[in-house]
Amino acid sequence: MSVQSTLPNQPETQISDSFTPERIQKILEVALLTAQEPLPITELRKLFNHELSTAVLSKFLHRIREKWNDSGIELVTVASGWRFQSSTDMQPYLDRLTPPKTPRYSRAVLETLAIIAYRQPVTRGDIEEIRGVSVSSMVLKTLTTRGWIETVGHRNAPGKPALFATTEHFLNALNLRTLDELPPLEEMKSLVESGGESQQLPLQQPAAPDY
Amino acid sequence: MSVQSTLPNQPETQISDSFTPERIQKILEVALLTAQEPLPITELRKLFNHELSTAVLSKFLHRIREKWNDSGIELVTVASGWRFQSSTDMQPYLDRLTPPKTPRYSRAVLETLAIIAYRQPVTRGDIEEIRGVSVSSMVLKTLTTRGWIETVGHRNAPGKPALFATTEHFLNALNLRTLDELPPLEEMKSLVESGGESQQLPLQQPAAPDY
Amino acid sequence: MDLVIDSPDPHPIARVCGKPLLEIPQDLYIPPHALEVFLDTFQGPLDLLLYLIRKHNLNILDIPMAELTQQYMSYVDMMRMEQLELAAEYLLMTALLIEIKSRMLLPNPKTLAEEEHDPRAELVQRLLEYEQMKKAALRLNELPQAERDFTLVQVLIKHEEIVTLLPDISIDDLREAWITVLTRTKVNRHHQVKRETLSVRAFMSQVLRDLRAHNQLEFYDLFSPTATITEVVVTFLAILELAKELLLEISQSRDSGIIYVRSINAAQPT
C-alpha cells in the first residue's frame, strides 16, 4: 500500500500539447538523441500521451531518417527500437578522440558466438561438439559479460547443462532487428572433390536452423 | 593469435583529410553528439590531427550553436568543454519516458520515524537508547523539514532535551486518521518474540485500515 | 593476418625460434618445434584437418596413419604438461581417422544400407558443419559493431530540478523499521522497551501540544467535548503518564477547586 505523492503539481498539466508537425518531429528527435537505449514506437507514443498512432509516428520517424541522411549520424531500427548512431565512415575520426576500447575477439570467441547465434539454444557440449575442442569458461564469460549471450534454460539431460542463446542486446550491437538478419549460412562445397568413391558419400547439409 | 578484422574500419592514412567547412562542421557535430563527456577545444583539435587552430574551431562551434538553436537540443560550454544537452522546455516530455525516480529514506530515518511514531513523545536520547546507536542531527532534521515530526516540549531532565512527536501531516502522508491505525504494537511484539531473525518473521498484513 | 587458413601464401604462418615458418606441413604431422605455434594457430583437430583437406587436397583416406600415430604419441608427454585436454582432442581425432581407415580397408559388400553407414560420413558431416560455423564467425565479425564501427549518440538530458521529489514511505516501511528495532532490542537484551498501548502515547503528544499553546490549562479543557469514553480514559492515562515523567504539573489550590495542568517547559525558565 504505497502512499501517494503529495507533490503539488506534476509537470503533466503544464505542457501545452498542441502538436504541430514541427513540434512532433522536434520532440521525437530530442527523445531519440537523449535516449540511453533504443526506443520502440510504443515507448515513443508516451511522449505524446498516446495521442498519436503508431502509423503516424512511423511516418515521422522515416521523415527524420531522411532529414539526417548524410549528416554523419543515422537513425536506425534495431531489435529494441529506434536509435541514432554515428555512421561507420565517421568512426576513424571518433577513434582519434578515444582509442577503440572494444577488444577484437579471438577466433574461439567468434566461433562460439557464431554457433550460439545460428544454432541456439545450445549447450556448451553442443559447441564443443561442433568445434571439436573444449570451450573455455573464459570464452563464455567474455560473451556473457558483454551481454551478448545469456542462459535461457537447461537441457533435460544429465548434469542439466545450461542452454545459451543470444540476447536482444547482441542484435542491437550488430544493428540487427531479428536473427533473420544475420548473414545467411553458406553452403559448404563438398570436402572431397572429384575423387571416385567420395562422391558416393551420402552427405547431407546440416539441417537448416529453424529461426 | 588473434583474428584481424576484415572490416571497413580503415587505418588513419585512408581518411581523406580534405577538410571542407561542411565536413569540419559534420565531424564536430558527430563527435559532440556521441561524446560521453564535454569536449574541450584542445580535444576537438585531435579530430583534425591538430591541423585546425583553436580559433577556427571556436568559430565553427559557435556556428553549430546557432544552427541547433531552437531544436530542443543546445550546444553549451561547461567547465570541462563543449557538450550538447536537451533544453529545459523538453524535459516534461522526456520525463514521460522515464519518470523521475522517487528517492528512498535511509534505514536510520525510517527507524527513527518508527520510534517517534510508536513511542512518542521521545527525546533524541530515548531514540538512541532504543536503536542502540547515535542518531545524527541530519536524520531529525530530515524528518522535521518534511513536516513529519515536531518538538512538542522538553523533558525536565539535564540538558532539557526536546521531545519529539509525529504531526498530523505525517498521518495525512500515510493516509491514517489516527496513530491507532498504525499496526498495533502487541501484534508485533508477539511477532518479534515468536520468530528468531526478523527475516524469518511471519509477517502478516496489518489489520486492514478502512480507508 | 586473416586467419592463417585463408591467407594468400607468401607470408610466414608463424615464427618459430625467430625463424619464419613458411609452410604448414602437408599432413597431420606437427614438427615438434612448431608444436606450440600449431596449438595456437588451429582451433583444434577439426580445424587442422579442415585446413589440410582444403589447402592440400589431403584425402582423408591417404593419411599415413601408422607414422602419424607414432609421431602423435611422442608428443603426448610434451603436451601433457600444459595442454593435456587439447592433446587428448588431437589424439582422439587421430584415433577416429585410424578407425575410419581400418573400417574402409575391410572388405565391404556394397549395399545401400552399408553406404549409408560410410564411416567417413559422420566425420565429413562434422567438418562441413564446423567449416560453416567458421565462415559464419567471419561474416559475423564483418558486421558493423557498436563501439567498434559506430558510436551511439548520447546527448545529455539537462535536469532542471523543477520539483524536488521527496521519498514516500508506506505503513509497511514503518512497520518493518519498527520490527527491526524491536528485534534488535530483543537481541540486545539490556534495552528494555516498555510496551504500552499506542493511544496513550499519541494522547501524551496531543496534551503536550495543547499545553504548548497555552502553558496552563484547566484540567477539563484537555478533554475534547466530543471524546468517546475510551478517549477520555486514554487522555487521563496520558496526563498521568506525563506527570509521572515530569513533563507536566498538576495543581489544585483548594479542595474541589479547579485543577490546573501546566507544562513544565524545560526549555524556558519559568
pLDDT digits (tens, 9 = 90+) for B77-117: 988 889 999 998 998 899 898 776 667 888 889 889 999 99
Q: Identify which of A75, A34, A27 has the alpha carbon closest to the alpha carbon of residue A49.
A: A27
Q: Can you list the positions of beta strands (E) in C18-139?
A: 19-21
Task: Please state, as a whole number, how many other Cβ atoms lie within 10 Å of the Cβ of residue B11.
Answer: 8
pLDDT tens digits for range A83-138? 999 999 999 999 999 877 667 889 999 999 999 999 999 999 999 999 988 899 99
CA angle A211/B6/B7 to nearest 5° reads: 80
Nearest by Cα to A17 from A39, A38, A40, A46:
A46
Partner residue facing A130 (CB), from C130, C171, C172: C130
pTM, to two decimals: 0.60
Q: What three-state secondary structure class fits C75? A: helix
Least confident interval from A13-22, A35-44, C181-190, C192-201: C192-201
DSSP C245: T
- The fraction of chain A above a pLDDT of 90, given in percent, is 71
Distance between CA atoms of A86 and A90, rounded to whole angstroms? 6
Within 10 angstroms of residue B99's Cβ, the number of other Cβ atoms is 11
Is the pLDDT higher at A192 or at C221? C221
CA distance B60 to B54: 10
Residues of chain A contacting B22 with CB distance shorter than 8 Å = none
A175 near C143, Cβ under 8 Å? Answer: yes
Helix%, strand%, coil% for chain B, nearest 5: 50, 10, 40
Yes or no, beta carbons of A111 and C154 under 8 Å apart: no
Chain A residues within 8 Å of chain B (Cβ atoms): 1, 3-6, 11-12, 14-15, 26-27, 29-31, 33-35, 39, 43, 46-47, 49, 71-73, 84-86, 88, 90-94, 96-97, 104-107, 110
Write out chain A residues lying below 8 Å of C43, CB-based. Answer: 107-108, 111, 131-133
Closest residue on chain A to B174 (Cα) = A3
Bridge partners of C248, per DSSP, are C263
CA distance B182 to B201: 18
* B174 Cβ contact partners less than 8 Å away, ≥ 6 residues apart: A3, C169, C170, C171, C174
Nearest chain A residue to B33, by CA: A33
C151 to A85: CB separation less than 8 angstroms, yes or no: yes
Nearest CA in chain C to A109: C137
Residue type, B172: N
Q: Per DSSP, what are the bridge partners of residue C21? A: C14
- 3-class DSSP string for A110-153: HHHHHHHHHHCCECHHHHHHHHCCCCCHHHHHHHHHCCCEEEEE
Residue pairs between chains A and B whose CB atoms are closer than 8 Å? 104
A94 neighbourhood in chain B, CB within 8 Å = 30-31, 34
Q: Which of C3, C125, C132 sits opposite A185 (nearest CB)?
A: C132
Torsion of CA C83, C87, C88, C94, to 10 degrees: 170
Cross-chain residue pair C121–A203, CB shorter than 8 Å: yes
Residue B70 C-alpha cell reads as: 531552437
**What's the length of chain C?**
270
Q: Mean pLDDT across the stretch B150-165?
A: 88
Backbone dihedral region of B53: left (phi > 0), alpha (psi from -120 to 50 degrees) or beta?
beta
